[in-house]
Amino acid sequence: MQRNPERLAARGPIDTANGFPRWYKDGGGRRLELATDPRDPNTQAMGDLPDPLAPVSFPGNFPDEAFYFLAEAEMPVGGQPRPGRARLVLALEAAFAGTGAVADGQQQVFARVRVRLDGGIPGAAYTFTHPYGRTDPLPADENGRVFVTEDTGAGAGLFDLLVTDGEVAPFLRWSADAPPGYLGDGVTGHTIAGSPLGFNFFTVEGPQVGGAGAAPDPTDPANLDKIFTDVFTVQGRISTLTGVEAARAVYTRSSGSVVIDVFAQSEPGQTLLAAGTTLTTTGTDYHTRAEVTTVPAVVEVVNATDLPPTTATATVADAVTVLVADYDTAQNQLTVEAQSSDLDDPPTLTVTGIGLLTAGKQVFELDAPPASVEVTSSHGGSHSRHVLVSGPASAPDPVRAAAGQDRVVAAGDIITLDASASTGAGITFTWTQIDGAPVVLTGDTTARATFEAPAGGAFEFEVTVQNAGAVDTDAVSIQVEPAGPVTDTLQPTLVEFRTNSGRWRIEGTATAPLPDRITVALDGVEVGSGPVDALHEWDIRRTVVPGEPGVTPAAGASVEITSSRGGQVTAPVTIRN
């Protein structure tokens, strides 16, 4: 395996119009914006709009997926009587966590590297080389398929994770003649530039991949088990706006005068305006301290360098400072002191989950302190501080062994014997088997020992817990039931086909042990397949090529969904424009 050492350089400010970063920037300084304009012929890859004829608006008329960057390549593949294909997807994709539906607060962006092979030899191994790396040999499943996806940064609001960890960097681009303002036109195949590894191509190496029309690797032309393409479609629109993010706005009021501190972030060299002043800057941080006549509810920050200017707003609150957060174990008392920046109209200060402060101070009787306290103000401010603990240490617990609950398990399972609920200072653990057919214990001198459950029977284990001054034992019984047939219950949660884009999306859950794989068919013709993930969920998507036979559903159609673990279910197809 060869990984990409390069990373993205930065993300842009949050766009208040949709809650996504305005752009992502690579190490070469290229900034790409989120492409959500269905009228742009160079950025057509996106989810369908609920109303394609209406303007894009969030959240009512917004795609459920869109791209900052997308590069794809594919080749025909031999290996079985019916040729298949190899496909590569490299993307910075914007989507929504949770159910996947458009919803504020669920915005996510992830870096995707996906390799797929259909038409390989079952059980054979295939190696993929692409602009951002080279895989280990990947085994094809019983149907001759390889499907591996790495999504980095997925999760609501984790917009910085793909910058630090994502391997889709720097952005690929046409090697020449890209439309002005774009990395490519999104539909035309073209040679590319930008691979940090010098891999401006896509190759697949494995048994019988040649013979279906793909080009051989020019560095190894006699190798019929290696195919090559340097033709990619590339989508990416260069951002012309920098934007601004209003990070914080707090006020101070004393003796009738009011000042507000405004903190913002943007790219270096921008002219930012707020409260009638120009913000000063250090790098990407901006600030101003402005005198105002009254406390505003919100403050607007304007990036005047952008044309047209971009804006962001922040709610104005008082500045709260927690001065003391001390806990005394001898008295079981937590002392909290805090103050607000509003001296003319002192707010009510509250320790979250504990109680009110009186004149900025209070002593609370607590059996145990929190790790930190947060003090909130009735004027909107808040501040947190770690609790400082003083006083005598707790008395050690007596030595008591706890081997866990008796239980029934299935043959073949890996069983964990868990004595971590045992008590005592400086204790050691020793597990021994005291009944049943002998098994091999792993970790028998730790709190958690494991063994593989045999075909069936009763077993008993004892744990000895001791320290320098005491010893105790406890036992646990394990009943192993013989293995029975594995059942896989499949529950589809979404079976949808979009006629405008030709896109299938089929999602659901499965119950069988992993690994498990789902296959979806329409009247006997496969629509797609994919693995069941660690949460026992599956998500299969496909875009139908115009004229492709057998995979476009008619009204009232159903699909057959099967699993490699024997599950089977039929589900109706929801057809939408």
Helix H, strand E, coil C: the string for 497-520 is EECCCCEEEEEEECCCCCCCEEEE
Sheet containing 361-365, strands listed edge to edge, beginning at the edge strand earlier in sequence = 361-365, 333-340, 320-328, 388-390
pLDDT given at position 144:
87
Q: How far apart are CA 45 and CA 70, in angstroms?
A: 8
Q: 194: closest CA among 6, 3, 1?
A: 6
Q: Which residue has the tokens 């903190």?
A: 263
CA count, 13 A, side-chain hemisphere, 335: 10
Give the SS3 label for residue 108: strand
Q: How many CB atoms lie within 10 A of CB 383?
A: 18
Beta carbons of 71 and 55 less than 8 angstroms apart:
no
How far is residue 132's CA from residue 497's CA, in Å, rounded to a whole number?
32
pLDDT the model gives residue 89 = 97
CB 204 within 8 A of CB 128: yes
DSSP state of 229: E
pLDDT at position 297 is: 97
pLDDT of residue 143: 82
Distance CA 167, CA 197 (A): 12
- As beta bridge partners, residue 363 has 335
Determine the Cα–Cα distance for residues 87 and 35; give it in Å rounded to an integer. Answer: 23
What is the 3-state composition of the chain as percent helix, strand, coil, each rounded to the nearest 5?
0, 50, 50
Cα separation, 335 vs 279, in Å, equals 39
- pLDDT at position 81 is 59
Q: pLDDT tens digits, residue range 251-282?
A: 999 999 999 999 999 999 999 999 999 999 99
Handedness of CA 544, 549, 551, 556 (dihedral sign): positive
Whether the bond into 515 is cis, omega within 30 of 0: yes
pTM for the model stands at 0.74
Supply the DSSP string of 182-227, one letter for each residue: BS--SSS-B-EE--TTS--SEEEESTT--SSSPEEPTTSTT-TTEE
Q: Which residues of the chain have pLDDT under 50?
A: none
Q: How many residues does the chain have?
A: 577
- Judge whether 324 and 390 are in contact, CB under 8 Å: no
Give the pLDDT score at 102. Answer: 96
Alpha helices in 81-215 (DSSP H): 161-165
Determine the pLDDT at residue 285: 97
165 neighbors 159 (Cβ within 8 angstroms) = no
CA R_g for the chain: 31
- Give the residues across from 560 on adjacent strands: 521, 570
How many of the other CB atoms lie within 10 Å of CB of 283? 8
User: Of 520, 12, 487, which Cα lies nearest the Cα of 244?
Assistant: 12
- Between CA 248 and CA 568, with CA 96 as vertex, the angle to 5 degrees is 155
For residue 502, give the amino acid letter.
G
Spatial separation of the C-alpha atoms in residues 273 and 388, rounded to whole Å: 41
Q: Give the burial string for 131-168 (b: 16+ CB within 10 Å, else e).
A: bbbbbeebebbebbbbbeebbbbbeeebbebbbeebbb
Report how far residue 262's alpha carbon sits from residue 450's, in angstroms, rounded to the nearest whole number: 57
Name residue 471's beta-bridge partners: 466
Report the Cα–Cα distance between both ends of the chain, in Å, rounded. Answer: 42
- For residues 197 and 172, the answer to whether their CB atoms sit within 8 Å is no
The pLDDT assigned to 79 comes to 61
185 secondary structure, DSSP code: -
**If you ran DSSP here, which 8-state letter would residue 38 be given?**
T
Dihedral of alpha carbons 126, 127, 132, 133, sign: positive
